[in-house]
Amino acid sequence: MILPLHRTQGATVQRMLNFFQPGTYVCPHQHPENGAIETICVLSGVLGFLLFEADGSVRSTHRLNAGPLGLIDIEPGVWHGMVALSPDTVILEIKQGPYDASADKSFASWAPPENDPGVPEYLTALEALF
């Protein structure tokens, strides 16, 4: 679930709270636009953050706890995904606007799309990395 904090979709800075429970699936993706830097700060809970190579292999994993070390900054074109590792995980996400759904994200062809029957198995494999 997402709660936008910015006033309009046209705002030049997009700020939102994302609420996760274990089992929430976020399809790995990248933000292809120049300047599409994304900053994530964990406010509560624990987030498993993954960086992927272009072929879908896992480059690195990061366990982000709430607090000053629960921060990550992602450059444009970097494949990434996340899993909730504890109940009631909340993140603050900040990125450049205005929001354009058609250009904001490129979803990974090597990962199951949301609502695909392969999601539970893939999500379990990602969670096992933590």
Contact predicate 28/111, CB 8 Å:
yes
CATH number for 23? 2.60.120.10
In the chain, pLDDT over 90 holds for what percent of residues?
76
Prediction pTM value: 0.90
* Residue 1: per-residue pLDDT: 76
Q: What is the pLDDT of residues 53-103, one digit of tens each?
A: 999 999 999 999 998 889 999 999 999 999 999 999 999 999 988 877 777
User: Mean per-residue pLDDT for 15-20?
Assistant: 94
* Residue 100: per-residue pLDDT: 78
| Cα 31 from Cα 27, distance rounded (Å) | 13
Strand partners, 19: 90
Contact predicate 118/112, CB 8 Å:
yes
The structure tokens 């993140």 sit at: 91
Number of structural domains found in the chain = 1
Domain that holds residue 122: 2-127
Side-chain half-sphere CA neighbours of 38 within 13 A: 21
* Residue 115: per-residue pLDDT: 92
